[in-house]
Amino acid sequence: MHTLAEWTALSEKIEFRHQAWINGEFRPAASGETFPAINPTTEELLTDLASCDTPDIDAAVKAARAAFKAGDWSRAAPAERKRILLKLADLMQEHFDEFALLDTLDMGKGIAEMTGIDVPDSIDCLRWSAECIDKIYGEIAPTKPTTLGLITRHPIGVIGAITPWNYPLMMAMWKLAPALAAGNSVVLKPSEKASLSCLRFAELAKEAGLPDGVLNVVPGFGHTAGKALALHMDVDSLAFTGSTRVAGMLMQYAGQSNLKRVWIEAGGKSPLIVFDDCGDIEAAAQGAAIAIFTNQGEVCIAGSRLYVQNGIRAQFMAALKRYAAEYKPGNPLDPDVKMGPMVDKAQLETVNRYIAGALEEGGKVELGGITESAEKGFFSQPTIITDTHADMACVREEIFGPVLAVAGFDTEEEVIAMANDCVYGLGASIWTDNLSRAHRVSREIESGMVWVNTWGEGDTTMPFGGVKGSGNGRDKSLHSLEKYTELKSVWISI
């Protein structure tokens, strides 16, 4: 791991790709328009990005369709696709530091998180998806003996991918890796707040041997480039990660256009439940701090609602505050800094607005609070709000910042009801040493993922996704291929 001085020196040498990547080359937006990519730590300009819109999306979809029809990728042997994607993973490994820096500079995530989580996870997801693709078989159905029923999976065609800024490279990779491995062409519209790592990835894909047009990355805003992609008549399926509000718009766009399938990974308000039989209060308190303060709380699965059983509440809160204090905001290029700035000024203001609202609604700030604007950078601070009740906005709504809402409870039934009283259903974390209770509560919680005596554990082998307002699809694992392949039934008369 480099030192702060070394990362700073490396960051000064980095070159930013800033144009759209369409049909295997960089090009400016058709309009010539650009928008600034700002470093949220220094508020300095990193580069001006191509501000793409309908004509650029049209060009990218056209290139993607042509590549799909040409078949160099879509009809290549799975082993051949595997070979190229593994080469691409090797290239990512060679450019490991560069990828780590790109997202840290672009959206403020700590460099230690980039090198410990985002970059290795992204490379692993690519390798895993590549490795699995030549090991998947079709099916033969148990039809009558005079027929043969073949059930096969095929690439869908042109996939539109729309991704958020909180894990810019990793969220894109969870979609690109299985979509490309399955033989699709992809048009990716990364978040306007963090596009740099995805543009660099596209360039490396060509170096690895991906045919032109198979992967296109089109930077731009949601209401321009994103909307054009979602409404496009020649996009077969959309894979989205982002807010629940935008997810709903995408489903409408699909209805207004060609009924393309919309796979959604959306917001969350995940409960973290600590029972008084949790055994190790220190571990649970540290887990709760990690769950809400990792990545400045800009995490879809952030454990943002904490429910502590009343018997251990005082002891638990004292420990939690100790661990929370480790998240001192600072320069994210420093490997020892656990909390960088918020992605932009608007996000910082959102966080402050929720804290002010919580105070008005009777909450008590136990730690942190509203951050007056720093001289430079959009820094917030770890904030814990107690005396919360179920009707408060800070309990019901996703803040997407380092703000934890805490409430006590007495019984298991009561806390299950509290946890499920939520429009979201992404993740949940339960802390108990009682095995039966762990199973019982895991089953009752309305969410796509449950962690017992841990939070946020994950690798490419396990599906990631939610229920209710948190979405309808799963990234990672073999199940992710369900998003990117179409079933075909072939009847053969014997």
Residues with a catalytic annotation lie at: 265
| Upper half-sphere CA count for residue 451 (Cβ side, 13 Å) | 25
**Selection from 358, 413, 357 nearest residue 386 by Cα:** 358
Which residue, 155 or 297, has its beta carbon nearer to ligand NAD? 297
Which residue, 97 or 265, has its beta carbon nearer to ligand NAD? 265
Give me the least distance between CB of 245 and ligand NAD, in Å please: 6
Report the residue closest to ligand NAD, judged by CB. 222
Residues that bind ligand NAD (CB under 6 A): 162-166, 171, 189, 191-192, 221-223, 226-227, 230, 241-243, 246, 249-250, 265-268, 300, 398, 400, 426, 466, 470-471
Cα 325–chain centre separation:
26
CB neighbourhood size of 207 (10 A) = 10
Give me the least distance between CB of 382 and ligand NAD, in Å please: 19
Give me the least distance between CB of 225 and ligand NAD, in Å please: 7
Q: Note whether 221 and 193 are within 8 A (CB).
A: no
Q: Note whether 303 and 405 are within 8 A (CB).
A: no
Give me the least distance between CB of 425 and ligand NAD, in Å please: 10
Which residue, 319 or 348, has its beta carbon nearer to ligand NAD? 348
Which residue, 278 or 302, has its beta carbon nearer to ligand NAD? 302
Which residue, 316 or 451, has its beta carbon nearer to ligand NAD? 451
Give me the least distance between CB of 170 and ligand NAD, in Å please: 9
458 SS3 class: coil
Orientation angle between helical segments 168-181 and 78-94, nearest 10 degrees: 160
N-terminal to C-terminal alpha carbon distance within the chain:
63
User: Which residue type sits at 330?
Assistant: G
Secondary element (H or E) of residue 484:
helix 481-484
**β-strands 139-141, 45-50: how paired?**
unpaired
Report how far residue 61's alpha carbon sits from residue 64's, in angstroms, rounded to the nearest whole number. Answer: 5
Number of continuous H segments (helices) and E segments (strands) in the chain: 17, 21
Which residue, 250 or 339, has its beta carbon nearer to ligand NAD? 250
Give me the least distance between CB of 93 and ligand NAD, in Å please: 24
The phi-psi region of residue 263 (left if phi > 0; otherwise alpha if psi is between -120 and 50; otherwise beta) is: beta
Which residue, 110 or 335, has its beta carbon nearer to ligand NAD? 110
Give me the least distance between CB of 327 and ligand NAD, in Å please: 19
DSSP 8-state class, residue 257: T
DSSP secondary structure string for all residues of 414-455: HHHHHHHSSSEESEEEEE-S-HHHHHHHHHHS-SSEEEESSS
